[in-house]
Each structure stands twice: as C-alpha cells, then as structure tokens.
Amino acid sequence: MFENSKNWLTPTLRNTLLEHPQLNEHELAYFVYQLDELKQHLLDLQDQDVIKLWYAVKANPLSRIIQTLDSAAFNFDVASAGELQQVLAQGVVPERILNTGPAKSLTQLTEFLTQGVSVFIVESINQLKWLNQAAKKLNKRPKVLLRVQLQWQEGEKNPLGGNSVTPFGLSTGEWQEIHVKQYPQLNLCGLHIFQWGNMLSNQKMYALWQQMVSALVELACSIGMPLNILDLGGGLGVDYFEQGETLSWPQIIADLAHIKAQANVEELWLELGRYAVAHCGYYVVPVVDRKVNYQQQQLVLAAGINHLLRPAITEQPFPVRLLRDSSAPSTYFDLYGPLCTSLDKLGHLPLPEDIEVADQLVFAYAGAYGFTESMPFFLCHQTAAEYVIENGKMSEVRAAQPASWYLA
C-alpha cells in the first residue's frame, strides 16, 4: 500500500532520475511511472472480498498503466470511444468494461454495444431510451445502473458538483418518472452515485455513503428495480498538501461492508482513479529562470499547466522536491510555467534556497490527472515524454514531440 509519506523522493528514485540521459532534443520535461510499486499497491487494494474494483481510465490512459491494472484484475470504466479503444487495444475483454459519462449519444451507445460492452451507467432518460432501442436492434440485454444525483443539507462544493446541479445523472425525482418495465431490453439492476472529490477523511466518506442509502433503496423500490448493484464511483483522496491527511484502506473496507449490508446489495463497486494510480507517477521539469519580483521568489519552469493543468483547476498543487541533493534551508517559491497567463502556476511551495537555473524539480502524485488532463497545445511548446520504471529500469513509452507534430 502506498503511504502518504513526505519521503517519496527515495534515494533509488532520485538516482534513477539523475541518471536519466536526455536523448531526445525535444524533451523538456517528462512523466515517469513506477510500475512495480503500482502493481503491489493494486494487489493490496484487491486483497478483500467486499468490493469489486474498476479503474476510471480518465485518471491515466497510458497503455502500460492499463496493462498493470489488468494484471491486478481490475475492471475498467471508460467514458469515451477513445478510452474504450485504448483499453481494448491492451487485450482487455469487453465484458470487463463499463461505460460512464453524460454525453452518450445513440451512435456511441450502439458502437459500444457492438464492441461487446455490456454494462452501462445511464445518466439521462434519453440515454435509457437510446440504449433500449440499440439493444433491441442488436438483440442484446446489457446491465444498466442509473446514475443518481442527490442533494445534501450540508453538502460540499467540489469538482464533481457536491450540492450543485451537474449533468452527472438525474435526481431521484426525475428517475421516479420511469419504470423498469418500460425498458424490457435492459437489465436494470443497480444505481450509481458519485458527486464528491478527493476525500481525505474516512469519517466524512462513511457519513456521506450512509446518508445516501435510504434514498437509493427507496428509489429502486419505487421504479420496480431489484437493487443488486450499488456503484459508489471514486473520490478517494490523495494528500496533495502533504498535511498528513490520509485515508485508511482497511477502514474503507470495513465501512463499505456496513454500507453493503445496509443497502442489501449483492455487489458493491468502486471506480478508482487517483487512489489507484496517483502515487506511482512523477513529473520532472527543469528551472529556466529564477528572479525576485516585488519580494516574491519566482521560479519559471520549462513547462507548467501545458503539461500539468490540475493545480490551476483545483488550486491543489502537486508536492515538489529538488531532484539533486541539497542541505540548504527551504524557502517558499512561486512556481510558474511558460504560458502567457498567470493561471500558469504550479504552486507556492517550499524548496531549498540554493536552487538554480537548470536544476530539475520533481512533482509527486502525478500518476493521475497529469499528461492527458493538460493543455499541451497553447503557445506551441513541446509535449511531455512518458516513461515507466520496471525492475529498476527506466524506459520510454511516449517520446516528447515538438509543436510541428501537432500543428497544421
């Protein structure tokens, strides 16, 4: 199990990164993923019999990451045709794939059914009608979970909505307009609910899950659905601020065993994103300039939100260290990227005072919502490379590319 330890830049990792030769002239910065550690973490998560685990591919769709999840018997949650193709291309059978997302058209649903996907999280009445129609035409009967959006009195606002109204699913009131009998071509057998993000408190998570159960059981009953499956999405958090806040996995399993009994479901599912893969990944980038501006210590990096957008969206920085060893005391620096917007900032974070131009910085927890969540095209910079470390050896999976690669 990965620990949220401040000592994540281990001597072994530091040496591997220091020895990394820059062979590609276009490589400014790169992501690197530790696959052996990832595999062990995933096997630890699988060492229980309470929940069935799916991987939310959006967190990191890199082939080698998907292969590692596959080898640890995870199933896959895909939210687009691109994610589906990427998972199928790794040799995963479609029976182990489910489809979430608010933008499923009749065309997409038909395509997914044709490709063999047989589990759908349905987020609107139209999706339900279209899936029924497509399933009839193709003579299939997929499993369907309805995505429910609840409101709480003391809800929190977060990237997935919290108490604000979002396109992710429908309220119980809207779902009560349907009845399972109207969709004979669908095996409507479960509910899905997920509207929180980066939770770091076991108590809070358990309280949220508990508050939902009665509303969900009631809904299933009123629309004639046997509630066999409950899918609680993702949202298990990572301690980006390094404040020592961390979830206990054994406690999550114990809490979910209660939820499973309370909801009286046969299967409880989670689709993990960051909790599965964030810890295995790092982002390495050099310092291009250092200056003091209005008493602010500023570092300008070779890349910023063009490679690592998440801090600008969430105001949660990825923790950072200087790659080389330094015994200088730390001070706070503002870390900027090369784009023409003050949004291009990776954080206000402590680093050794003796940091210099050309020093390399390493950001942690970049295994999730890194490379593919970013905005690589703005200002026509090079894309980041992606590497894996396996059996102590670092190898390239995706080379860095110059702007001419994507400009037309």
Ligand X SMILES: Cc1ncc(COP(=O)(O)O)c(C=O)c1O
Nearer to ligand X, 265 or 339 (CB): 265
H-only helix segments in 90-191: 106-114, 125-138, 172-175
- Kindly give the pairing relationship between strand 281-293 and strand 296-301: antiparallel
Q: How far is the CB of 100 from ligand X (least distance, A)?
A: 4
Nearer to ligand X, 234 or 281 (CB): 234
| DSSP state, residue 247 | -
Report residue 297: phi and psi, to 5°: -80, 115
Instruction: Give the H/E segment covering residue 221.
Output: helix 202-222
Residue 229 burial by Cβ neighbours in a 10 Å radius (0-12, 13-18, 19+): buried
Tokens 């509303």 correspond to what residue? 215
Nearer to ligand X, 233 or 352 (CB): 233
Active site residue 221: no
Radius of gyration of the chain (CA): 22
**Residue 120 in contact with residue 109, Cβ under 8 Å?**
yes
Q: How far is the CB of 244 from ligand X (least distance, A)?
A: 20
Q: How far is the CB of 40 from ligand X (least distance, A)?
A: 19
Q: How far is the CB of 168 from ligand X (least distance, A)?
A: 7
Q: Which of 134, 150, 154 is nearest to 142 (CA)?
A: 134
CA-CA distances (angstroms) from residue 161 to 151, 169, 225?
Answer: 10, 11, 26
Taking CB under 6 A as the rule, does residue 194 contact ligand X? yes
Q: How far is the CB of 160 from ligand X (least distance, A)?
A: 6
Please calculate the CA angle 17-21-25 and round it to the nearest 5 degrees: 125
CA-CA distances (angstroms) from residue 102 to 110, 147, 170, 383?
Answer: 16, 10, 10, 29
Contact segment (CB under 6 A) with ligand X among 33-41, 208-216, 229-237, 372-380 equals: 229-237
Among 61, 142, 190, 234, binds ligand X (CB under 6 A): 234
Among 94, 169, 197, 317, binds ligand X (CB under 6 A): 197
Per-residue x/- mask for ligand X, residues 250 to 289, rule CB under 6 A?
---------------------xxxxx--------------
Q: How far is the CB of 159 from ligand X (least distance, A)?
A: 7
Taking CB under 6 A as the rule, does residue 59 contact ligand X? yes
Nearer to ligand X, 41 or 274 (CB): 274
Nearer to ligand X, 192 or 345 (CB): 192
Residue type at 31 in one-letter notation? F
Contact segment (CB under 6 A) with ligand X among 33-41, 233-241, 253-261, 320-328 equals: 233-241
Q: How far is the CB of 109 from ligand X (least distance, A)?
A: 16
Pick out residues in 81-120 that bind ligand X (CB under 6 A). 100
Nearer to ligand X, 142 or 161 (CB): 161
Taking CB under 6 A as the rule, does residue 233 contact ligand X? yes
Q: How far is the CB of 233 from ligand X (least distance, A)?
A: 4
Count of residues near ligand X by CB under 6 A: 16
- Centroid of chain to Cα 233: 11
Contact segment (CB under 6 A) with ligand X among 35-43, 54-62, 240-248, 399-407 equals: 54-62
Tokens 């599912």 correspond to what residue? 269
Q: State the catalytic residue, choosing from 221, 280, 340, 380.
A: 340
User: What is the distance between the alpha carbons of residues 259 and 252, in angstroms, rounded to a whole number?
Assistant: 10
Terminal alpha carbon distance of the chain: 45
**What is the DSSP track for 251-288?**
HHHHHHHHHHHHHT-SEEEEEESHHHHGGGEEEEEEEE
Q: Which of 322, 330, 324 is nearest to 301 (CA)?
A: 322
Q: Catalytic residue numbers?
A: 340
Q: Which residues bind ligand X (CB under 6 A)?
A: 56, 58-59, 77, 100, 194, 197, 233-236, 271-275
